[in-house]
Chains A and B, each alone.
Chain A
Amino acid sequence: MNNELIVDIKNLTIQFETIDGILEVIGDINIQIREGEIVGVVGETGCGKSVTAKLLLGILPSPPARIKRGEIFFLGQDLFRIDAAKRELLKQKIAYIAQDPMMSVNPVFTIGTLMVDMIIWRESHQKFTTYLWKRRNRNLVKKAMDYSASLLDKVNIPNPRSLLRKYSIELSGGMRQRVLLAMALIGHPRLLIADEPTTALDATIQKRILSLLEERVREENLSGMYITHNLGVARIICQRTNVMYAGYIVENGPTGELLDNPYHPYTQGLIGSIPRITGERFSGIDGQIPDYLKPPTGCRFHPRCPKKMDGCEREVPEFVEVTSGRFVACRLYQL
């Protein structure tokens, strides 16, 4: 199996400029995604996981946001250094599945129209007039419809042809999420970014969508970035997981090991907060997420950390490999 590095984010730091001042939203993160693997980005509200996804997709509004430092390599190319045209081409290889399926599909068009539009637009090399011309071409539309039906079949939708004629509001949440997945697969992407795609779904449906996602990633040879706040879901679908807190990645490792034996105090606190079937005591984490205007100096977690040591407030701990394949940014593990 090819171990090509699909995504390589190095030392990325992002700032937001607001009327209150400069918010350091993402501070020095490193994320790597290899071919065929699904990497989880786990964190609570406000930790910066959605910002990271938006940046990769290129939809982070850039006047308020500023990339202060760092590089993003996608398929080996530095996204910031190449020219806009090449960047656009590369971006077509990234697909996105959003959180709320209700909001992400245009309710005024049939699924078929939506998918055919997307397919033909891709064939038009970003030229609107070409698109208008091609859209009238019956042959092309028919081919696009066939392709759409095959994609819908891939996501286990029974009766794809009849679904193409339906509107999104006629579908249940689970169906809509599958349709979104099918749409995401249109351009043969290499990377799939999923932002909490199952949060709005019922538990039994969630299971099915997760296994479908896994299957698709395997068959299409994709890589995935799965963003969630639910550690249990990460366990099911992510091979590796990054734990984010206040814009920093505090821990990284194979998901199973990470959850069974967490190193960073925040990860430990998170896992300790989750109510267990085994009935053990669960307690939350004291304090609140920091104010990004005046974040804590040094390690951003130190005000809430039960294992805080002297020196934690002085410098941000380095993200180092502690045991094979497991990285932590914590003073406790620096010798």
Chain B
Amino acid sequence: MENSTILKTEEVSKIFFANRGNDVFSIRGEPKTVKAVQSVTLELREGEALALVGESGSGKTTLGYMLARIFKPTSGGIWFEGKDVTFIEGRALKEFRRKVQMVFQDPGSTLNPRHTIQSSLSLPLRIFTSLSRQETRERVIELLSAVHLPAEIRFRYPGALSGGQKQRVNLARALALNPRLIVLDEPTSALDVSVQAKILQLLLDLKNERKLTYLFITHDLSVVKNIADRIAVMYLGRVVELGDTVGIFGRPFHPYSRALLSAIPVVTEAEKKLLPAEIILEGDVPSPENPPETCPFLSRCQEKIKVCEESPCPNLKRIEENHFVRCWLMN
């Protein structure tokens, strides 16, 4: 059964304008443009978990923020449930927010330290619904139990909670309005390994129970292998490889994807055998301030050929079922 597309972007870009010059000492140089995201076209299917993977500067966070309408795209369009949501405001935006929620990266900083958990959790309910105090209280308890937290915790302040508990509260808040799509920005990066596992398990369970769709932003590929159905590998604002998790791990095509996979610090020998051979990339992660017109990965690619240096950025092309790559080596 074909799953319907719940969210779609077309040629979406985000350019930030900064006023500082390059030199540390100049206060006002020529305006710099940071091309965080360049012409990304993506589809999210209902009920799936898509992971946006990449390093710093890849644009994955910016893209995620755009899809949650925290940022507005500089160009291109975003469609949700078939409707254009690129520039909506007011009531339409409010309706959108009800259905698309976001969980941010650092669990500690997203909870107001002066508000009790009860207060933080009831915020979306107060804004969007007109439940009575009693009903709000019941809903909060219900949400807490959905994330396996005891009801008493609602009287406490975030400072008294552990990282794992705080993240569960964030999750509970995201679930408060029964959204259809949740964008998660590195939801487990700040947590210890033993806690991380529990949160990931919780995320999977919730997804299945409530038929949610997830957009995962992360740099941790081991997590991705276990939770994502599809992966989009990003580099310098572009998607360089897109496909099923199985396909990308099993037959990674793009040189960057292969380097990323080979860099995963795995724990067991068995896992090491499944990864591509070690590729150590020279040079630093470039900044998206002046991305080249050519393939974005050109400067660090160890498999480049003459065509790569002479041609503009390649397009995303299909190499097998559900597997797309942006690379001149394909031809």
Residues of chain A at the chain B interface (Cβ within 8 Å): 44-45, 167, 169-170, 172-175, 202-208, 211, 229-233, 235-236, 256, 259-260, 269-279, 282-285, 288
Instruction: Please give me the residue from chain A that is nearest to B165 by CB atom.
Output: A288
Q: A273 to B164: give the CA distance in the assembly, Å.
A: 14
* Chain A residues with CB under 8 A of B162: 288
Q: A278 to B265: give the CA distance in the assembly, Å.
A: 14
Q: A175 to B285: give the CA distance in the assembly, Å.
A: 11
Quick one: which of B268-303 are within 8 Å of A by CB? Answer: 268-271, 274-275, 278, 280-281, 284-285
Stretch at the interface among B32-40, B193-201, B308-316: B193-201
Q: Contact check: which of A172, A206, A207, A275 meets B226 at CB < 8 Å?
A: A275
Q: Does B55 contact A (CB under 8 A)?
A: yes
B263–A285 contact, CB under 8 A? Answer: no
B193–A273 contact, CB under 8 A? Answer: yes
Distance (whole angstroms) from the CB of A205 to the closest CB of chain B: 7
B265–A235 contact, CB under 8 A? Answer: yes
Q: Contact check: which of A169, A207, A260 meets B24 at CB < 8 Å?
A: A169
B285–A279 contact, CB under 8 A? Answer: no
Instruction: Please give me the residue from chain A that is nearest to B269 by CB atom.
Output: A260
A278–B270 contact, CB under 8 A? Answer: yes
A208–B193 contact, CB under 8 A? Answer: no
Instruction: Please give me the residue from chain B that is nearest to A45 by CB atom.
Output: B192
Quick one: which of B187-235 are within 8 Å of A by CB? Answer: 192-198, 200-201, 219, 221-223, 225-227
Q: A202 to B263: give the CA distance in the assembly, Å.
A: 10
A274–B193 contact, CB under 8 A? Answer: yes
A274–B222 contact, CB under 8 A? Answer: yes
List 5 extra interface pairs beyond A174-B284, A233-B265, A256-B269, CB under 8 A: A170-B24, A173-B56, A203-B264, A270-B193, A278-B270
Q: A202 to B58: give the CA distance in the assembly, Å.
A: 11
B274–A278 contact, CB under 8 A? Answer: yes
Q: Does B144 contact A (CB under 8 A)?
A: no
B280–A211 contact, CB under 8 A? Answer: yes
B268–A270 contact, CB under 8 A? Answer: no
Instruction: Please give me the residue from chain B that is nearest to A228 by CB atom.
Output: B265
Q: A203 to B55: give the CA distance in the assembly, Å.
A: 7
Q: Contact check: which of B198, B260, B278 meets A284 at CB < 8 Å?
A: B198
Q: Does B266 contact A (CB under 8 A)?
A: yes
A277–B266 contact, CB under 8 A? Answer: yes
21 contacts across the A-B interface (CB closer than 8 A): A44-B193, A167-B24, A169-B24, A204-B281, A211-B280, A232-B222, A232-B266, A232-B267, A235-B265, A260-B268, A272-B197, A273-B194, A274-B197, A275-B225, A276-B266, A276-B268, A277-B249, A277-B274, A278-B274, A282-B200, A283-B197
* Chain A residues with CB under 8 A of B278: 207
Q: Does B111 contact A (CB under 8 A)?
A: no
Distance (whole angstroms) from the CB of B16 to the closest CB of chain A: 19
A276–B225 contact, CB under 8 A? Answer: yes
* Chain B residues with CB under 8 A of A271: 267-268
A-B pairs, 10 with minimum CB distance: A232-B265, A284-B197, A202-B55, A284-B198, A273-B197, A44-B192, A285-B194, A203-B263, A275-B226, A275-B222
Q: Does B259 contact A (CB under 8 A)?
A: yes
B197–A276 contact, CB under 8 A? Answer: no
* Chain A residues with CB under 8 A of B200: 275, 282
A270 and B194 in contact, given A275-B226, A282-B226 (Cβ under 8 angstroms): yes
Instruction: Please give me the residue from chain A that is nearest to B53 by CB atom.
Output: A203
* Chain B residues with CB under 8 A of A232: 222, 264-267
Instruction: Please give me the residue from chain B that is nearest to A169 by CB atom.
Output: B24
Instruction: Please give me the residue from chain A that is nearest to B55 by CB atom.
Output: A202
A277–B265 contact, CB under 8 A? Answer: no
Instruction: Please give me the residue from chain A that is nearest to B202 by CB atom.
Output: A284
Q: Mark B12-36, 1 if CB is under 8 A from A, else 0.
A: 0000000000001000000000000
Q: A167 to B275: give the CA distance in the assembly, Å.
A: 38
* Chain A residues with CB under 8 A of B264: 203, 232, 277
Q: A269 to B193: give the CA distance in the assembly, Å.
A: 10
A259–B284 contact, CB under 8 A? Answer: no
Q: A282 to B220: give the CA distance in the assembly, Å.
A: 15
Query: Which interface residue of B193, B200, B266, B271 has the most chain A CB atoms within 10 A?
Result: B193
* Chain B residues with CB under 8 A of A208: 280-281
Q: A98 to B275: give the CA distance in the assembly, Å.
A: 30
B196–A273 contact, CB under 8 A? Answer: yes
Q: A236 to B275: give the CA distance in the assembly, Å.
A: 15
Q: A270 to B264: give the CA distance in the assembly, Å.
A: 17
Instruction: Please give me the residue from chain B that is nearest to A233 by CB atom.
Output: B265
A231–B285 contact, CB under 8 A? Answer: no
Instruction: Please give me the residue from chain B that is nearest to A211 by CB atom.
Output: B280
Q: Mark B38-78, 1 if CB is under 8 A from A, else 0.
A: 00000000000000000110000000000000000000000
Q: Mark B235-247, 1 if CB is under 8 A from A, else 0.
A: 0000000000000
A275 and B55 in contact, given A172-B285, A204-B281, A231-B267 (Cβ under 8 angstroms): no
